[in-house]
Structure 1
Amino acid sequence: MAGEGEKLTGLAKHFNGTTMAGRANVAKATYAVVGLLIAYNVMKPKKK
């Protein structure tokens, strides 16, 4: 696991599983993707 001495960069800095903030960001991203999929399916044109 990432220790205090390790410097995370890029996406690993925001989406790491070792900190509560990182886990919260993963959960938020998951909810956002699910919400976008639902919105797309509701708003897409209906086939005749």
Structure 2
Amino acid sequence: MPGGRAARGVRTCRVSRITELEPLAETFTRPAGFDPAAHWREYLAAFDTR
């Protein structure tokens, strides 16, 4: 999946591609042990190889 890990897992999106949004009442639960800084480093490393 481009820009993410799995169909229902953590996804990384480019803010510059968001052209419209609508706030929802829906919430989410962060995956256990999720480390945003580590995720970003891994994402950037994978991006550089693409």
Q: What TM-score, normalized to structure 1?
A: 0.34
Please identify which structure carries the higher helix content: 1
Q: What TM-score, normalized to structure 2?
A: 0.32
User: Which of 1 and 2 has higher RCO (CA within 8 Å, sep 6+)?
Assistant: 2
Tell me which structure has the larger Cα radius of gyration.
Answer: 1
